[in-house]
Amino acid sequence: MVVNAGVAMIGDPLTFDPDAVDRMIDINVRAPYHAAVEAARTMADGGRIIVIGSVNGDAVPFAGAAAYAMTKSALQGMARGLARDLGERGITVNVVQPGPVDTDMNPADGEIAGMVMPFMAIKRYGKADEIAGLTAYLAGPEAAYMTGAMHTIDGGFGA
């Protein structure tokens, strides 16, 4: 099971719309938790749950991202807890934490690129297939002993 739900909104926490924060919590935290639990109910022993998080769960190098970072940090605690809860069944739970990736939501030539590019060690956005490669590895048999872990793939954004 790959849980890949997320929205990102940034803004001054003193003026940020509380409903926007609640929406991020609903989509970025509640939905992945319930999806993972429901999947585990019917998942065979030895299954895999992979949650797509964000490097912003660990690093917040610019202002305005407190609420978003909070939601991505919550996924870390969720994965660690579910790893313990599901470990006896051999089900692994891991988080993939991408940095800036060229997507429709955050294009490499978009308005956010100028803000994040100075923080990149590798001066480019990531590619979706790079994130997919790490995700496929975590879904495979070679990752059967890896659980409750955060796997950052961010071009050095959080370095």
Contacts with 89 (C-beta within 8 Å, 6 or more apart), sequence order: 40, 43, 45, 46, 47
Quote the Cα angle for 9-11-15, to 5°. Answer: 125
Is 115 exposed, middle or buried, given 0-12, 13-18 or 19+ CB atoms closer than 10 A?
middle
Kindly list the catalytic residues. Answer: 68
CA distances (Å), origin 116, targets 5, 78, 127: 22, 27, 15
As a whole number of angstroms, the distance between CA 37 and CA 74 comes to 15
Report helix, strand or coil for 65: coil
